[in-house]
Structure 1
Amino acid sequence: MKKTLYFVYNTKSDIWNKYLDNLHKIISPTTYSCDLCSLTHGNFSEKKEWKSFRENSNYKFVFMYKDEFLRMYSCLEDKNFGFPIIFQKQGEKIDVLFDSKEISPLNSVEELIEFLKKKMS
């Protein structure tokens, strides 16, 4: 059974929040609240290194906004997770792979990829 990685961004899915997030990322990237998005995406698209890693991985990747994830997994709402966060799901079991405290110090998409490779091996 193929494992699934859920990448949950620290933002909401509505159009207004998406617009404000993109604007914030461009105007003041150092204060942007989603370290995961900053690692995997540039201002307008997915980073090439990340896309290549994702497409060549043996894992299934699912990307969600915080509100979408909490609606889908409402049983986890009381866990007080910090976002962004990465979960690993196999069958019905879902576990934290990396929390926001582990994601925050990463400085590049290459560091994220290496971090994931170590954790997934």
Structure 2
Amino acid sequence: MKLVFVYNANSGKLNGYLDSLHKVISPKTYPCSLCDITYGVLKIKPEWQAFKDRTNLNLEFHHLDEFENKFGSITRARYTYPIILEEHNGALEIFLSKEELDGLKDENELIKCIEARTTAL
């Protein structure tokens, strides 16, 4: 099993700067709760980085444009972003929906949720 994280943002330095600016100027309208949970304004949150470093889970991260390039535009249109998907033999299923991600307060809640769901599998 692989967990595929899809941020509701496009890749690239300019997009990253614009996203950071959006987080500062209007955090309530920022469209990516996954970005907000795992990254501060300029860098990855230390707790999230520590989890990524220690986990045995297979994790893959994509911005919207990268996800579309890898899985195709039809797949991109099937979901609401951000999202975490499970990949089994090339098939994708929802692991954590946008609504679930939107309900998490911080990276610690995300980590606990991932650990609980992967232990239950």
Q: TM-score, normalised by structure 1?
A: 0.88
CA distance in 1, matches of 2:43, 2:11: 17
Unaligned runs of 5+ in 1: none
Cα shift at 1:60: 1.9
Question: Runs of 4 or more off by more than 4 Å in structure 1?
Answer: none
Q: Residues of 1 paired with 2:87 and 2:13: CA distance?
A: 28
**For the structure 1 residues 118 and 17, does the alpha-carbon distance in structure 2 shift closer, same or farther, using more than 3 Å as the test?**
same
SS at match of 1:33: coil
1:62 aligns with 2:60: yes
Q: Size of the alignment, in residue pairs? A: 118
Q: Does 1:76 align with 2:75?
A: yes
Which amino acid is the alignment partner of residue 56 of structure 1? Answer: R
Residue aligning to 1:108: 106
Contact 2:67 2:76 (C-alpha < 8 Å) held by counterparts: no
User: Identity over aligned residues, as a percent?
Assistant: 34
Q: Which amino acid aligns with 1:76?
A: T
Amino acid at match of 1:113: I
Secondary structure, counterpart of 1:7 in structure 2: strand
Unaligned runs of 5+ in 2: none
RMSD: 1.5
Greater shift after overlay, 69-78 or 100-109? 69-78
Match of 1:90 among 69, 84, 88: 88
The farther-off stretch of 46-55 and 24-33 is 24-33
Partner of 1:117: 115
